[in-house]
Structure 1
Amino acid sequence: MLQVLACGAAIVTLSMGIRHGFGLWLQPITQEMGWTRQTFALAVAIQNLSWGFIGIFAGMAADRFGAFRVLIAGAALYAAGLAGMALSPTPLMFALTTGVLIGAAQAGTTYAVIYGVLGRQIAPEKRSWAMGVAAAAGSFGQFLMVPVEGWLIASLGWKEALLALSAMVLLIVPLAFGLREPGFGNGAPAAPREQTIAQAVGEAMRYPSFLLLMAGYFVCGFQVVFIGVHMPSYLKDQGLSPQVASYALALIGLFNVFGTYIAGSLGQRMPKRFILSFIYFARAVAIAVFLSVPLSPLSVYVFSAVMGTLWLSTVPPTNATIAQIFGVQHLSMLGGFVFFSHQIGSFMGVWLGGYLYDVTGSYDLVWYIAIGLGVLAGLVNLPIRESAIVRAPAQPARA
């Protein structure tokens, strides 16, 4: 268990740590290339959609053939996408590399794939806790990597910094060897499959609680990606230094370490729907307070600490709820479907932030939308049923 948890956490640390710093490239790239913020935001929005959509199929492959092969392919795509992000001469090429390639890479190197391994390899009584540890690792990656990325940009220039990250992300390859699962070889899964993919998807899509989880996760994606990508520019527009933005993103990552671990641990002791509702309501309150007080480095740091505690703390209880309801046989795939909803929200948050800024000259309207969605997500999580679904006896499926 220790090897699986350590290697999975290290992969999430690297993969999520790199992507959390993309907001630092918004102004350097748009200013040098003469592009609008909407151009950059659209590419990152496509990245989130690509990540979510391809994540469904990456999850299917990981459930069927094991995570190892998916992780190797994801690492190669990540390296290629970061290099393409540095060298793209046109907005179209930038969207294809930064958007499609990196999104596909993240689908194969982040939570859906890693959580599938944890769900299969770790006992149910420790599953939510283990998922909290992995999510905390991704948060530590943000705390660790965002300042590193800021330093690389300042020291090397934004293009060279991306090429350095392209080489660094290949460290996922040796780490993937620690996630090779017994019985996943020659295309054969470890155990007979009780449901086909179509049966598992149909069952989930007919289950109201699964749809409510998807709705809440849409809001999570909208909020965190809007803030992560646009807050550095928002703060600079308000006259604060770029260092304040770097420290703010790092603080989000640091406090998210605690938030995700606490959420995962609490998920073993209390209903996960209450944890999720609290997180969404608390985010709405935190954003409202942040906008209502005078802006200063101190207010930014306090907001970042609070939001960091709530940042990815939705991830462990959401995925643990899926495993609790449906079991672990198709966990990576079903987690991929829920995460696709998250990424649709991410697309809307990052693209709408750029679009409304270009149209109105400010981010105010998007902040207000984020508050309203937080209240809505808090409400829709309350009626979720977490008990295991009752299935009629059936013959084992052949595929």
Structure 2
Amino acid sequence: MSIFRFPLLVWLGIGILIISLGIRQSFGIFMMPISMTFDAGREFFSFAIALQNLLFGVFQPFVGMAADRFGSKKIIIGGAVTYGLGLLLTSISTSHELFYFSISMLIGLGLSATSYVVVLGAVAKVVPAEHTAKAFGLTTAAGSFGMFAVIPGAQSLLTHFDWQTALQVFALLCCVMLAFASFMKATKTNTVVSEVTNEQTLKQALVEACTNRNYWLIHMGFFVCGFHVMFIATHLPSYLADKNLDASTAALALAYVGIFNIFGSYFWGVMGDRFNKRYVMSALYFVRTAVIAAFVTLPVTDNTAALFGAAIGFCWLGTVPLTSGLVRQIFGARYLSTLYGLVFFTHQVGSFLGAWVGGRIYDYYGSYEPIWWSTVVLAFVAALLHLPIDDRPIAQIKQMLAERMPEEGTVR
């Protein structure tokens, strides 16, 4: 299936992600003006964003359950309203309490209802199973494109206006997400789903997944992804500064991460449709192992930093279409938002630890070397974890067992 033949819902979901994640990824440039307004240090703003990310993960499984029960359209509409309200209240905050409530609590909740988990859950219901990973890859790439679509506009707003006005413009952008969501209409594809799956309740789906070894292997792999992403995003600039490189080198390396992630997300998604997803996932983590090991082994220069940004960016969020694709392939599309939401929470736990442990180890050893080599080991372990995953659909296995039982009874 050509990407141009994907249902309208896929393109609406892409539009929602560009706005939702584009706004989220621009928060970093608000640190200085907001800190100055509140006459507080950088930790004040940093903790608010850290709390936002943690709540983003905490809310995700519950939002996913709501999406599976009431439909993605209603959840995204509610999320867009909450996101916009959070931005508006942040812009008029005069107390620390209101600021934390709005930027951490409300925006964290809004993000959980307008980002990957809910949108991919909606996409899974309208795209044939054999094209799921490609569709997920294209949708994931939209999140990185949002960085380049929104951040320059945010910087321009901060140049010509104040940060309050910039956030109020972002609040208006949430109305566009609301409009996109209002046109979303899920039409189920003609995928073969067993009667057992159709009759399954949410509780049964959760029990089935949580007692399945493959589901926990997927969790562990995505934990490593979160650890990598947040450690590198948070500590790469400081690591390069320790190597006496200019701040512009770190900015360029992170820019390459974003650019190459756009292509990488789609590439790994396409590979997931053409080949066995678990092997593609293992290949991705083996690539990460080699890239990170090469970076910490070779001399750190402007060129190697840029090459590292491009290489790690190419396998940065390629895990998203593959991980969500595996969950969909094994457990079906019916409760994908819930089951992938739980996996995403594990990812966010890894993200939290990646940012925190990186700083903790640096303070203890006075060097990033131990944590860099830890990420190499984690990448290698994650690659091995995906190899034993049984990616056969649960519904298919149940059907096979149901067909065998009468035959065995006849033989007896």
Q: Quick check: TM above 0.5?
A: yes
Match of 1:125 in 2: 130
Distance 2:56 2:164 in 1: 23
1:222–1:346: 8 Å Cα contact kept in structure 2?
Answer: yes
Q: How far did 1:12 drift?
A: 1.3
2:126–2:187: 8 Å Cα contact kept in structure 1?
Answer: no
Greater mean deviation of Cα atoms: 317-326 or 19-28: 19-28
Q: Does 1:391 align with 2:398?
A: yes
Q: RCO higher in 1 or 2 (8 Å CA, sep ≥ 6)?
A: 1
Change (3 A) 1:116 1:130: same
Distance 1:323 1:32 in 2: 46
Deviations 1:143-196 (A, max 9, x none): 33344444444554555443433332332111112323359xxxxxxxx95111
1:220–1:345: 8 Å Cα contact kept in structure 2?
Answer: yes
CA RMSD after TM alignment: 3.1
Change (3 A) 1:157 1:264: same
Q: Does 1:96 align with 2:114?
A: no
Q: How far did 1:264 drift?
A: 1.0
Q: Which amino acid aligns with 2:79?
A: G
Match of 1:322 in 2: 327
SS, match of residue 274 in structure 2: coil
Deviations 1:251-295 (A, max 9, x none): 222211111111111111211112212222322332333334444
Match of 1:250 in 2: 255
Distance 2:243 2:172 in 1: 35
Match of 1:49 in 2: 54
Distance 1:72 1:45 in 2: 25
Q: How far did 1:46 drift?
A: 2.4
Q: Aligned to 2:345, which of 328, 340, 343?
A: 340
SS, match of residue 301 in structure 1: helix
Q: Which amino acid aligns with 1:322?
A: V
Match of 2:191 in 1: none
Match of 2:174 in 1: 169
Q: How far did 1:379 drift?
A: 1.9
Q: Which amino acid aligns with 2:23?
A: I
Distance 1:157 1:368 in 2: 42
Q: Which amino acid aligns with 1:76?
A: V
Match of 2:409 in 1: none
1:260–1:312: 8 Å Cα contact kept in structure 2?
Answer: yes
- Higher-Rg structure is 2
Distance 1:160 1:232 in 2: 29
Distance 2:132 2:31 in 1: 37
Change (3 A) 1:50 1:238: same
Q: Does 1:352 align with 2:357?
A: yes
Distance 1:334 1:122 in 2: 18
Distance 1:238 1:30 in 2: 28
Distance 2:160 2:300 in 1: 29
Q: How far did 1:246 drift?
A: 4.2
Q: How far did 1:243 drift?
A: 4.7
Change (3 A) 1:251 1:32: farther
Match of 2:193 in 1: none
Match of 1:186 in 2: none
Match of 1:397 in 2: none
Q: How far did 1:27 drift?
A: 5.4
Match of 1:272 in 2: 277
Change (3 A) 1:216 1:300: same
1:252–1:311: 8 Å Cα contact kept in structure 2?
Answer: yes
Taking structure 1 as the reference length, what is the TM-score of the superposition?
Answer: 0.85
1:258–1:309: 8 Å Cα contact kept in structure 2?
Answer: yes
Match of 1:6 in 2: 11
Would you say how many aligned residue pairs link Structure 1 and Structure 2?
A: 387
SS, match of residue 387 in structure 1: coil
Q: Does 1:18 align with 2:23?
A: yes
Aligned counterparts, 1:137-156, within 5 A: 137-156=142-161
Change (3 A) 1:385 1:300: same
Change (3 A) 1:100 1:137: same
Q: How far did 1:364 drift?
A: 5.0
Aligned counterparts, 1:65-214, within 5 A: 65-86=70-91, 88=93, 93-156=98-161, 158-181=163-186, 193-214=198-219
Distance 1:240 1:87 in 2: 38
Q: How far did 1:320 drift?
A: 1.1
Change (3 A) 1:38 1:209: farther
Q: How far did 1:236 drift?
A: 5.8
Q: Which amino acid aligns with 2:231?
A: F
Distance 2:317 2:179 in 1: 26
SS, match of residue 339 in structure 2: helix
Q: Extract unaligned runs of 5+ from structure 1.
A: 184-191, 395-399
Deviations 1:333-390 (A, max 9, x none): 1111111111111122233345556777765554444333222222211211111112
Q: How far did 1:296 drift?
A: 4.0
Q: Aligned to 1:285, which of 267, 284, 290?
A: 290
1:273–1:381: 8 Å Cα contact kept in structure 2?
Answer: yes
Q: Which amino acid aligns with 1:2?
A: P
Q: Which amino acid aligns with 1:319?
A: S
Q: How far did 1:86 drift?
A: 4.8
